[in-house]
Amino acid sequence: MKNTIAALIAGLFATAAFAQTPAPAPTAAPAAAKAEAKHETQAAKAEAKETKAEAKVEAKTDVKDAKHATKHAKAKTKHAAKDTTVVAAATPAATK
């Protein structure tokens, strides 16, 4: 009986001592999380930079296309005006 009581008391002391020790500091987990967050940030920055570059190229292309369309429209209008004056001059006037 004395041995049983002694074992129970020793068990209580052991659990009390184990409960009071601080948990090991998880140093590897925050470092890994920090590295992952840094990687995600860099990936987001790279993606934003790429998107910005694509938008810039698209804007330049749109401006170039607009200039080309304007130039083409002007030439077409000029050509149409030229055709109407030639036709008007070529047709004889009606005599009364």
Total domain count, the chain:
1
DSSP for the chain?
-HHHHHHHHHHHHHHHHHHHSPPPP--HHHHHHHHHHHHHHHHHHHHHHHHHHHHHHHHHHHHHHHHHHHHHHHHHHHHHHHHHHHHHHHSPPPP-
In a domain, 24, yes or no: no
In a domain, 12, yes or no: no
In a domain, 83, yes or no: yes
What is the residue range of 69's domain? Answer: 46-89
In order along its 96 residues, the chain shows pLDDT tens digits of 889 999 999 998 888 877 776 776 666 666 777 888 888 999 999 999 999 989 888 888 888 888 888 888 888 787 777 766 555 555 555 565
